[in-house]
């Protein structure tokens, strides 16, 4: 099941079908940070471009913060919220499996993942709540990564605050160095946790294994570039696809 307008009980012309289609359009816009053309939206949603134009006009008339125009593309302005009323089977499985994987990251994130799943489940209708509770997708236990001297929650807070970080680091050969870095991302791999950062010593992006950071001291000084800018530069340099 996708949305109700694809179900034979709700033909495309009925009000319930159109309401569901509008929600699908909002979700398609939410997933994008840059303008998307009506042709792309029509191909994704399985409708005509004329339907997309009509639905965009309807959403704007109802207060949706959508910028753009025909031929150029549309983008949903930040801050607009519209709580989804339902999930498809695939969306439920993606949500549950994703949160179960996150629960393996570290203890604070694990508790937060459990809280998120409980909040979402609490507001779902009974039939969807049962699907969440009985999904057959399991995140298998992993081998615990090496213990870290630095608290991963501290690293995450420093990244969010866009603060510089003074670290004492031991490389694979045991050589020690002190550096000031601009941490921009924390990657969770099966056997390691990796901090991506701009290194003031090397004047370039570098990757640091969290288990080799001997000491870490967040500094009051913010790094001069915004994290979004640094992330974009890092993605380009490392040829990393844009994350959802």
Q: Per-residue pLDDT tens for 28-72? A: 888 887 899 999 999 998 899 999 999 999 888 877 888 887 778
- Six-digit token string for 121: 């489940």
Q: Per-residue pLDDT tens for 110-128? A: 888 888 888 888 777 787 7
pTM > 0.85: yes or no: no
**How many Cβ atoms sit within 10 Å of the Cβ of residue 61?**
8
Q: Which CATH architecture best describes the domain 152-238? A: Roll (2.30)
Mean pLDDT of 147-164: 91
Is 152-238 in the same CATH topology as 4-76? no
Exposed, middle or buried by CB within 10 Å (0-12, 13-18, 19+), for 25?
Answer: buried
Q: What is the pLDDT of residue 117?
A: 84
At residue 3 the predicted structure's pLDDT band, cuts being 50, 70 and 90, is: very low
- Whose structure tokens read 């004047």? 203
Domain definitions of the chain by residue range: 4-76, 89-134, 152-238
CATH 3.40.50.2300 is the classification of domain 4-76 = no
């Amino acid at each position: 099941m996708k949305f109700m307008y694809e179900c034979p009980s709700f033909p495309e012309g009925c009000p319930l079908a159109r309401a569901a289609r509008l929600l699908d359009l909002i979700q398609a816009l939410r997933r994008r940070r840059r303008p998307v053309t009506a042709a792309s939206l029509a191909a994704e949603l399985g409708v005509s471009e004329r339907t997309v134009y009509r639905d965009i006009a309807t959403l704007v008339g109802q207060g949706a913060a959508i910028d753009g125009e025909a031929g150029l593309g549309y983008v949903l302005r930040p801050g607009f919220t519209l709580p989804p009323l339902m999930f498809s089977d695939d969306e439920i499985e993606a949500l549950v499996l994703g949160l179960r994987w996150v629960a393996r990251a570290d203890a604070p994130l694990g508790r937060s993942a459990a809280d998120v799943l409980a909040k979402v489940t609490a507001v779902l209708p009974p039939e969807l709540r049962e699907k969440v509770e009985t999904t057959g997708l399991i995140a298998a236990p992993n081998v615990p990564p090496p213990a870290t001297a630095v608290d991963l929650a501290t690293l995450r807070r420093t990244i969010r605050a866009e603060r510089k970080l003074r670290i004492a680091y031991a490389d694979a050969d045991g050589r020690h160095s002190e550096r000031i870095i601009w941490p921009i991302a924390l990657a969770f791999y099966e056997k390691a946790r990796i901090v991506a950062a701009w290194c003031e010593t090397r004047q370039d992006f570098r990757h640091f294994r969290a288990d080799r950071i001997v000491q870490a001291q967040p500094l009051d000084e913010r790094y001069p570039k915004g994290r979004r800018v640094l992330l974009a530069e890092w993605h380009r340099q490392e040829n990393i696809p844009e994350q959802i």
